[in-house]
Structure formats: C-alpha cells, structure tokens
Structure 1
Amino acid sequence: MKQFIRDNPTIAFGLGLPLLLVAVFLAISGIPVLLVAPAQYEVLYATHYNFHNNPHNAIRIAVVGDRVQVSYVGNTQPYQTPRLWRFNPKTGAVKEIALPLPPGLAPNSGRPVEAEKTPSVTPIDVPDLAGLRVDSSSLAPDGYRFSSGADGYGGKVFDGLFLGSSRYRVHAELVKDGRSIRLPETEGAYYGNAVRFVGWVLP
C-alpha cells in the first residue's frame, strides 16, 4: 500500500480526499450533540393542517392563553382532517391525539360550494388535551425552537454535498445551536399540507 501511494500520489489523493471530507463533516455534525443539552419539553404539532389555506369546513387548532382549543368551522364534512401529535424528545415516543368531527355535518359532495358569510363554529372536546397547559412561544423554555422544512431548505450540509440537494426533503425538527431532533410523522409534508407548530407542553 505504501509503495502504491508513493508511485501514484495523485490517485491516492483523489481517493483519500473524499474519505477525509466525510470524516471531517461527521465529526463536525457530532459536536452539537456533545455540547448542547438535550431537549426537555414535549411538543404538540399538527400534520396535514391546511386551515389557513381553506378556513371553511375544516378543523381549527388554536392556543388561547395556555390551553389548546379545537373547533370545527363550517357545517359540511371536510376534504381532509389534520392529525395532531405529541412528541417526547426524552424518550423519542410520539402519540397521536384523536380529533373527532362534530356530529351532524352535511356530506361533502366534492363540488365547490358557496361559503357561509358567517360560518358556524363548533367546539370539539378532545379528552387528551383536557388539563394540558402549553406555551405557544416560538422558543421553548430550554431554548429549542420548532423548524419546518416547508419554510425553507431541509437537511444538513453533509446531505447537500454528498447526497444531492435536500430542498425537497421536507420535514420538521427541534433545533438549538446546531443540534437537531427530527420530529416523527412529518416526512413528505408540502405547502398546503404543512406541519404546524402548536405549542410546548408545560409541566
């Protein structure tokens, strides 16, 4: 091997440089994990949430004070319903919180209908949210923030250099000072079906 390197320095350099770069980027990406404290707060987020794009005949999730309020706007069944998740970064466990539709909604014919001038709003009782206190601030008390790939470029520098552009790898994560924790069930989100931050679960 030593003789080959001495006889073919250009080839050896060409083969060794990519491996060296891989090692450097892996080392750099691992530094935040060692220096930045793990996330401490559970987070609530919704997927397939398009209320802001279609506020009629849809489930609305809002934080009022420190409580999550879920309601249904309209009187016709929705085209799609959002899914609400509770993620624990300490254990990596994720739980889906069921969002029932109110009874008595008219069938959805699939054809556009004229929106109500004053749409009806029906509160939805969600047992898993009862008594839950949340902080809807963009920054968690431990310094982590919610970031969605739908708002920009996802992925890491390493992915962009060696695996191609990551602009289409849409997902959501918790980030702080270079450390990131990917949120489950958020892969493949796109504009109109984006991941929406709800709040941090308070103890």
Structure 2
Amino acid sequence: MVEICAKAAVGNPEELGDCPFCQRVIVTLKEKDVDYQLNLINLDDKPQWFIDECPSGEVPAMKHEGRWVDDVQIIIGMIEEWYPEPRLATPDEFAEAEHRFQNLYGYFVGFLQSQDPNDGTLQGLQEELNALDEHLGENGPFIAGEDFTAVDINVVPLLVNFIVACNHFKDYNFFEDMPNIRTYCESMWSRSSITDTTPADEYIIAGWEQKLNR
C-alpha cells in the first residue's frame, strides 16, 4: 500500500486541506485505483513523527523504501512507473501545453497577493486563462485531446482552488468569458477522483486567508 502525507485543512485537521499539489497525488492514485494510506498533516502543528521522518516538513510526501519523497513531480512519476495502467503520462505532442498550463499557479498567486489593480498581475492571469480557453476549444475535451492525462491532474486542482479564492478575495469570476474552461471544469467535476479530493470551499478560503495573512 502506498503511504502518503498531505496537508490537513486549516481549522479542521481531520479533513483534506487546500493544497493543489497534494490533490494531484491523491487524484493520480484514485485514477489508477491504487490503495493508499493517507496521513493528514497539520502544518501549524506537525506531529513529531513527521518532523523526525521527513525533515523538510514538506507535503505532499510519499514513503519509498523507508524514506519520504517530497517532490510532487517525482512522486507522480514514481506512481506512473509502479502502476502503468491506466496510462496518465501526457503525450509528447502536448508537453509544451503541459509546461505552460501547470504554471498557472504563479499567475494566480500573483493576482491574489496583488494590492495594486494596475500592476499587470490580472492582465497576465487573463492572458494565460485565455490561452487555456482557446487551447481547450481547439483540442478538447481534455487538455491533451481525447484522453484524461497528467496535465489535467496538474491543472484541475489549480482551477478548482482559484475559482473559490478569486471569487472570495477579489470578487473575480474568470468563468464568465471563458466558456471552454467552464465546460471543461464542469466535466471534471463529474469525475469522482476530483470531487472526492476537492476540499470544501470554507477550507480553501481558510487556507488562502492564512497564506495571504488576512
């Protein structure tokens, strides 16, 4: 059985928290129907065993041969190697799209942290979202065409996270003018691997309140 550690929800250590990188790992395991043991880690009060065994203190983390691996891309690569079916690796022809769209995180964080509406962070975010919307319109239903792959697993947790956070903190709904992203997300929410691992809105908001010091 795979043993992993993931962020617990701020305010409720018994529930999965808002970390989209932890969600990536769990979605991958669920899509491959792999049994796993989930340890929820309260990052404000880490258990001593976790501090002792995983000195970096980072999540997600996965135990391998008695040691904890805490790089999300390495973890997902290892799971893909151990459990090759169904294949989730992004096809080579969509590698550029994968690289671009999994970096949406930085644009979202910049926008949420911004205190100046004229600093360009919103414009940069909108450009990337427009590119994703156009890509889905040309290549959908998934980012890599006909198949659900790792690039979807990378991107969907970001979108789910930031739909809630952008609405709450910025009163910004990027769904309004991006019909292909809206349709894409609606189809993603029909997948149990996504819905079963998506935190409640209150935990997403609590997590971002802490990150943004609000």
TM-score range, shorter chain: under 0.3
More strand by share: 1
> Which one has the largest radius of gyration?
1
**TM-score normalised by L of structure 1:** 0.25
**TM-score normalised by L of structure 2:** 0.25
More helix by share: 2
